[in-house]
Amino acid sequence: MRTKVVNKRIEQYDVYIGRGSPFGNPFTLKEYGRREAIDMFRKYFYSKLNNPFFRKTSTEIEGQDTGLFLQAQSLSWRRDS
């Protein structure tokens, strides 16, 4: 079962995973720049997996369509995880 990431502006989704959700990236492009915000989020996200509640929650969305705001250039690293 694959988890699909979709642009919430144009497709329906089951779970919102963008900023403001437990899965959202708190590091903004404006403050950190694109590459650094992505790198910081990657470290942040993996560190959160040490939390049993977060780990359980993250496995519960497996196989669902997840929605967030996407820009065209971000599709290359977020598509179908």
Q: Is 73 helix (H, G, I), strand (E, B) or coil?
A: helix
What are the boundaries of each domain within the chain? Answer: 4-73
Give the torsion sign (CA, 5, 24, 9, 39).
negative
- DSSP letters, 21-38, are STTS--S-HHHH-HHHHH
The tens digit of pLDDT for each residue in 27-76 reads: 999 999 989 999 999 999 999 999 999 999 988 888 998 888 877 555 54
Q: pTM for this structure?
A: 0.71
